[in-house]
Structure 1
Amino acid sequence: MKLERDAPPAGTVRDWLDARADAGGTAIVFPDNGDVLTWSELRGAAHGFAAALTSKEVKKGESVAIVAPNGKAAVSAFYGAVYGGFRATMINLAAGRNAISYALEHSEARFAFVHESCADLFAQSNLTGVTSVALAGSDQADLHAVMPQDHALLMYTSGTTGRPKGVVHTHASLLAGGWTTAIAHNLTDADRGFCVLPVYHINGLCVTVMGSLVSGGSLAMVSKFSASRFWEQAEAGEATWFSVVPTIISHLLHGTTEPTAACKAWLRFGRSASSALAVETHAAFEKRFAVPIIETMGLTETAAQILSNPLPPGPRKIGSPGIAFGCDVAIQGPDGAEVARGTEGEIVVRGPNTLLEYLKNPKATSATFREGWLRTGDLAQMDEDGYVFVTGRLKELIIKGGENIAPREIDEALYSHPDVVEAAAFARPCGSYGERVEAAVRLCDGSRLSAEALIDLCRERVGAFKSPDAVHFMAELPKGPSGKIQRLKLAELIPA
């Protein structure tokens, strides 16, 4: 099967895995231990797991939980569940016992693949009697027939503002998610992505795993991100591109290791997603490492990417996650009407990569869609060239004295200081103004920067009204599984 730029992939994930296996070649290399997994071996492992589940009379479309870190087993289990016509339910290992228990119960999974390293976590979280299933299975079972619109993936949102929602993707929308990445970055069968983000997060799963399936390329996969080993692993894996988040970019920038000339000769680009990349961090990274960073934007509900800057020498606009690829993106006002260029509104998306539904939550599904457009909850402006400039999240806006303040503007001011590794402004309830501005910051090792100096820097850049009243230093800011800073948790974590 061949990647087409003008139309999303037809067929199912099973069809595409069969095609890659029949064509042959390497699917994934593992720099951690030197293992290599061919497409044929991956198909064999997937078929075996699918057959094992089928022999246990798991119904088509039924949830099968996958409790595993990045590695050969996790990828084989994911592909096996989807290959067999089941709903691969990726369990977020960083979510905590209560959230894992909720996902197992809400998904109604009866069976799970549990990696040996996750056995204790699974045992503590498994309040619903889910049975563990091994990867090995019989080839004799007749698999369920699968269609493009059948359920393929169930992934739970972070739930920072309430109960996590179960996002359901079909075979078609999963493949479309990989396709939007492939066409935006001109991926071919000669490319090898570097997967350091967890595959139980939509970025790791759709951007790298689905991106390589659809493009016919391959992956280098490690169990988790390591700032000290990142460049070494990228070189060992002969990666031509990588997908990370802004916090990883900042940690690499403030780290001591450098890519070798051989590593940079392989690398075409890196991409950043999941949250806004500070302009100063972006520019400093490219200056130091001479590796272009492509800022992008995606959601769990859109199988990852909706926006991307073009690759060099195309016009990149620093501070923007780019233009739409493979879907339609617009900026709408509260009434659902598209606003004028340069006017702030909500980002909405329409395309083949959007979710089918929130599992067992028709009210949330209905509220998310408006006349066919998926509402993202992100505020932005679009310029005359179609580039989107994100200004904030509807739920994260700080409302001080009746004025809306976008936390990102304050984040940018804080990141402009070279000692700042992580930063996030947040709202604190206030009797005088309703809410006031505070910020949490992580500094590089050895820095003696004061809170007063950072507040003065913000006053200079964004004015006194928007500047934080207090800056709190933390050893590390709270993050979700993708590395995205969880801004809404800061007020409860930091004493007033």
Structure 2
Amino acid sequence: MNTVDRLWSHAENTPDAIAVRVADESWTYGRLRDLIATWAARLDRAGISAGDRVLLVAPTSQEFVVVHHAVAAIGAIGVTVNSTSTAAELEYFLTDAECALAIAWHETQDVARRAAEATGIDLWVLEAGDVDIDVSPDLQLPRPMAEDDTSVLLYTSGTTGKPKGAELTHGNIVACAEIIAGALESDSSDRVGTALPLFHVFGQVCVMASTFAVGASLSLLRPFSGPGLLQMAAAHRLTVLAGVPTMWNAMLHADVDVSREDLAGLTHALSGGAALPLAVADAFRERFGCRVLDGYGLSETTGAATSAKLSVRRKEGSVGPALPRLKACIMDPDGRQVEPGVHGEVAVAGPVIMKGYWRRPEATAEVMRGEWFLTGDIGKQDEDGDVWIVDRKKDLVIRGGYNVYPREIEEVLYTHPDLREVAVIGVPDDRLGEEIAVVFAPHPGREVDAARLREWLEERVAPYKVPRVYQQVEELPKGSTGKILKRQLDRGAVLAEGTRVSSGRSAS
């Protein structure tokens, strides 16, 4: 088994089928295989062998697709990281993974070189167009690997402590690709498009691997813009679009001449990476006629866990039931499954669960309960198996003894006509322990009065859930996938600079 096997099969059986498209250029499965084989031969000649770690620092591009699959084809382990990483971060990845080689996009070569020199590791610079065909006739590809052999190391965000490398195996990736493709009822006629970063599990496995699993085509856009992705969807006649909530929001409000008719072939869109506000999903379908399927997963679950179904209307706020071949449940602090409707920690089991954290057996043991992976997310589940993600365990705000889940308030705020982005957080409070604050960015040209916003919320949520502190910003901080990064919000600054709004209504 090798994650590249299916791509090789398509190259043999349908060599002229389009595999990758970027703007007006395209690469067939036959050509893509030859380009991958060329890079595999280069790696082999450099002494890279099965099990060696290779750091890849590159943005979404056809070059990433080629090099990433070349590493897998020879049985080496890809360490794909954010292309905007600092030298210190790259040095940490190189050292922690004990990499044998670093390959960096030409635009990041200065930063990567400092990290490589500090660790004594060779650096190859990847130039745009650096994919000439020069296949070694003696190299048999893809090399057979065991199902539990590690294929990639994906480092977690490190919100608590240093980032940990989640070991995803060849079996994990193949299973995830098959599961996602099956859930979407994908086939070789599909034309999939995304602007997601391919170094992240969502773009790399849930989108790219599942597309190649069925021999469909993958259109790539970089950098992301709402108008740009809509224009690509129309020009490439996409049938499937993949993104994160901030992307759908940007497309929804894009001033671009792309209509429902232009996207007539777009059957559905796949959303992940963060919770999708229902108001955004409904508005996107209203404007473009395309249903957005909200899914849930983590790097440790190869990006897959639950998803709304194609044939069933999504229950309000739900991320759907467990995907086929997977299981999901809610556990209490003692590791026991709770009754439907009771809040607890979301746990997932199935063939997509990571092998473990790279050389961190204690950290792995902390998140595993037999076959179950503990996600760190608080959720609930109904009798049908549908899951609701209430919030991150660490994002829970305890205000005067009351548990407040920020996501619940954010869902309400996203229905406000003047708000574009929101984040609800806890800030220190001497009397209550924590107070609730909302940081928001209005739509361009809109004015939002904090006092009126509080009044609006008081009509929609219980008194103890109403934020008391309001801060307006031009834009909220985001990660590489477009996910809003609450951890980058300075709680002290929000408390000091935000507006504290009182109310005559009793709200203890």
CA displacement at 1:95 relative to structure 2: 4.1
Given that 1:178 and 1:210 are in contact with CA atoms closer than 8 Å, whether structure 2 keeps it comes out as yes
Match of residue 28, structure 1, among 13, 19, 35: 19
Q: Tell me how far 1:201 sits from its aligned partner.
A: 0.8
Give the equivalent residue in structure 2 for 1:100. 90
Q: Using the TM superposition, give the Cα deviation of residue 29 of structure 1 relative to its aligned residue in structure 2, in angstroms.
A: 3.6
Amino acid at match of 1:174: I
Rounded Cα–Cα distance in structure 2 between residues aligned with 1:226 and 1:244: 11
1:176/1:263 CA distance change after superposition, 3 Å: farther
Establish whether residue 230 from structure 1 lines up as the match of residue 220 from structure 2: no
Residue type of the alignment partner of 1:51: A
1:290 aligns with 2:289: yes
Q: In structure 1, how many angstroms separate the alpha carbons of the residues matched to 2:271 and 2:332? A: 27
Quick one: which of 44, 47, 62 aligns to 2:52?
62
Residue 343 of structure 2 corresponds to 344
User: Which residue is equivalent to 1:121?
Assistant: 111
Q: Secondary structure at the match of 2:376?
A: strand
Whole-Å Cα distance in 2 between the matches of residues 421 and 351 of structure 1?
A: 37
Tell whether the 8 Å contact from 1:414 to 1:454 is kept in structure 2 after alignment.
no
Contact preservation (8 Å) 2:60, 2:222 = yes
* Corresponding position of 2:318: 320
Q: Out of 119, 127, 130, which is 2:121 matched to?
A: 130
**Does structure 1 retain, via aligned residues, the 8 Å contact 2:320–2:386?**
yes
Q: Secondary structure at the match of 1:42?
A: helix
The answer to whether residue 34 in structure 2 is matched with residue 49 in structure 1 is: no
Query: 1:467 deviation in Å?
Result: 1.5
Structure 2 CA distance for aligned equivalents of residues 430 and 116 of structure 1: 48
1:27–1:207 CA distance, 2 compared to 1 (3 A)? farther
Q: Name the SS for the 1:428 alignment partner.
A: strand
> After superposition, what is the alpha-carbon deviation per residue over 1:154-203, rounded to whole angstroms, capped at 9, x for unaligned?
11111122211111111110111212211111111111211210001111
2:174, 2:26 → 1: CA distance? Answer: 24
Closer/same/farther in 2, CA of residues 355 and 263 from structure 1, 3 Å limit: farther
User: What is the alpha-carbon root mean square deviation over aligned residues?
Assistant: 1.8
Kindly tell me: are residues 141 and 481 of structure 1, through their superposed partners in 2, closer, same or farther at Cα, counting changes over 3 Å?
A: farther
Bigger shift: residues 93-102 or 435-444:
93-102
Distance 1:493 1:241, change over 3 A: farther
How far did 1:19 drift?
0.6
Q: Distance in 1 between matches of 2:51 and 2:37?
A: 16
Number of the residue aligned with 1:139: 136
For residue 260 of structure 1, report the CA deviation from its aligned partner: 3.2
Work out whether residues 51 and 141 of structure 1, in 8 Å CA contact, stay in contact via their aligned partners in 2: no
2:55 alignment partner, SS class: strand
CA distance in 1, matches of 2:261, 2:122: 47
1:82 counterpart residue number: 72
Q: Is the Cα–Cα contact under 8 Å of residues 67 and 93 in structure 1 kept in the other structure?
A: yes
Please state whether the residue corresponding to 1:266 is helix, strand or coil. coil
- Give per-residue Cα distances to partners, 1:64-91, cap 9 Å, x unaligned: 1111111110000100000110001102
Q: Distance in 1 between matches of 2:195 and 2:376?
A: 27
SS of 1:395's partner is helix
Partner Cα distance (2:147, 2:111) in 1? 34
| 2:99–2:121 CA contact under 8 A, matched in 1 | yes
119-128 or 130-139: which moved more? 130-139
Cα displacement (A) at 1:416 = 1.5
Alignment of 1:409 with 2:399, yes or no, is no
Q: Distance in 2 between matches of 1:382 and 1:130?
A: 48
For 1:435-454, what aligned pairs fall within 5 Å after superposition?
Answer: 435-454=434-453
Change (3 A) 1:28 1:318: farther
Task: Using the TM superposition, give the Cα deviation of residue 363 of structure 1 relative to its aligned residue in structure 2, in angstroms.
Answer: 1.0
Specify the code of the residue in structure 2 equivalent to 1:352. P
In 1, Cα distance between equivalents of 2:22 and 2:75: 31
Q: Which has the higher contact order (CA 8 A, sep 6+)?
A: 1
Shift in Å, 1:261: 4.5
AA in 2 matched with 1:321: V
**Could you say what secondary structure the match of 2:490 adopts?**
helix
1:450 to 1:124, Cα distance in 2 relative to 1, 3 A:
farther
1: distance between equivalents of 2:345 and 2:445?
41
Secondary structure of 2:305's aligned partner: strand
What TM-score do the two structures reach when normalised by structure 2?
0.91
Matches of 1:275 and 1:435, distance apart in 2: 24
Whether the aligned pair in 2 keeps the contact of 1:180 and 1:306 (CA below 8 Å) is no
Q: Contact 2:55 / 2:94 at 8 angstroms: preserved in 1?
A: yes
Any residues of structure 2 matched to 1:41-440 within 5 Å, and which? Answer: 41-126=31-116, 127-133=118-124, 139-140=136-137, 142=139, 145-311=144-310, 313-325=311-323, 326-440=325-439
Unpaired segments ≥5 residues, structure 2? 496-508
SS in 1 for 2:465: coil
Q: Alignment identity in percent?
A: 30
Shift of 1:98: 2.9
The AA in structure 2 aligned to 1:35 is E
Amino acid in the other structure paired with 1:308: S
TM-score with structure 1 setting the length? 0.93
